[in-house]
Structure 1
Amino acid sequence: MKRTLVLALASLLIAGTAQAQSRPGETVRPFFGMGLTFGGDRLEEFDFSNGTSSTVRTGGIIHLQAGVDVALGGPISMQANIGYHADSANGSNGDYEFTRMPVELLAFVSLTDSFRLGGGVRHAFDAQVNSSGAVGGFDSDFKTRTGIVVEGEYFFAERFSVKVRAVSEKFEGKSGVYRGRTFDGTHGGVYGSFYFF
């Protein structure tokens, strides 16, 4: 499945580049997005000396993504993107971070000139926990099951949009302290995106 996703993403990027060279800006639009996500199982919770606490979850919290959006004709479009998704707890004497690099392949149907619905598949590569200092000893690698994405996107300007999405995915510890444990990474999120043309 990993090979299929990578090949599909590569094919879409190559096709997008070819179309962009022939008709720049008309059918292919590179984009960058950032989202805040919430949900997923709790990995760890940390209490700080100032009385506050921080919980790291498999669905949180910052997701950066970049990719291409390709219009296929009529109301149909495809999108391929790669991203960096992370949640962390950081203190003066130690750090704990859960990171992954999701690759997504999505299809959309435009319902109006400014709103579309879409969905597709997502696979998070290199899912891992890195820890140091007083919270060291949690370092682990995870195997990821391919997940499902559903989202709605509203364009409030030609190049700017807001997205609301839901993702279903799972992580299974393959090394370290989480080895053999399964975590639900199901989460929701709100994103802002900028399209370059």
Structure 2
Amino acid sequence: MTTHKIAIAALLASGLTFNTVAQAQEQAQVSGILGGGLSFGGETLVDDIRFTDGSSDEVKTGEGFWLDFGFRADFEEWALKSTIGYKSGGVFASNGDATFSRMPLTIIGSINNNGHLFGAGFTYELNPELDLDLPGLQGTAEFENALGLVLEYENNYDVWAWGVRYTHIDYDYDPTGETFDGNNIGFFFNWYF
């Protein structure tokens, strides 16, 4: 008899849980996201890359552009955003290039104050890689996947939004045991559909 009571209690509890989830899903307005941005900062990976005109440049861990897509679930006073994308930065020249690329998976929870979203979350950057294809300097360095903290402000205008994002992240290079600071600030635009 006790087993039956436990089974009935578990069934009722699971029904309440499913009902709560169903109500939350009904209240959320889910939109797709297509976005991109530009970020600045981070530690120098490769410096003093010389060009034929005498100028030079460097590759930093936090710099570059990104394109991403995903979804956002908007509730009455908060939102949950999840995206996956491609981020790359570096030096591009006619005789070669040096790039640092990765695939960020980002999840951000935000408080919504009349279209002004203040959020925090995490990014997990997959396959960070430095690729060198320069005269006299060629090769690839694969870094460990990296977990970072994200703080974000986003300003929504109907289906368009712009914002600023701070990312706190480090990249580990196992062969040498070095860790590179990838902290950066970025500016972005999103289109919601």
Instruction: Report the TM-score when normalising by structure 2.
Output: 0.81
Q: Give the one of 105, 108, 118 matched to 1:106.
A: 108
Deviation of the 1:91 alpha carbon: 2.1
Helix, strand or coil at the partner of 2:145: strand
Percent identical: 27
- Paired with 2:143 and 2:61, the residues of 1 have a C-alpha distance of 11
Alignment match, 1:143: 144
Helix, strand or coil at the partner of 1:78: strand
2:29 matches 1:32: no
Alignment match, 1:185: 182
Deviation of the 1:93 alpha carbon: 2.2
What is the count of residue pairs matched by the alignment?
Answer: 169
CA gap 1:66/1:135 in 2 versus in 1, 3 angstroms: farther
Deviation of the 1:135 alpha carbon: 5.0
Deviation of the 1:133 alpha carbon: 4.0
Q: Contact (CA 8 Å) 2:126, 2:146: kept in 1 or not?
A: no
- Paired with 2:36 and 2:55, the residues of 1 have a C-alpha distance of 26
Matches within 5 A, 1:37-76: 37-45=39-47, 46-71=49-74, 73-76=75-78
Instruction: Report the TM-score when normalising by structure 1.
Output: 0.80
RMSD: 1.9
Moved over 6 A (4+): none
Gaps of 5+ in 2: 1-20
Matches within 5 A, 1:124-163: 124-134=125-135, 136-155=137-156, 157-163=157-163
Gaps of 5+ in 1: 1-14
Could you give the per-residue CA deviations for residues 126-153 of structure 1, whole angstroms, max 9, x where no partner exists? 0011122415334101013311000000
Could you give the per-residue CA deviations for residues 35-74 of structure 1, whole angstroms, max 9, x where no partner exists? 1100000011212111222211000110111110012x32
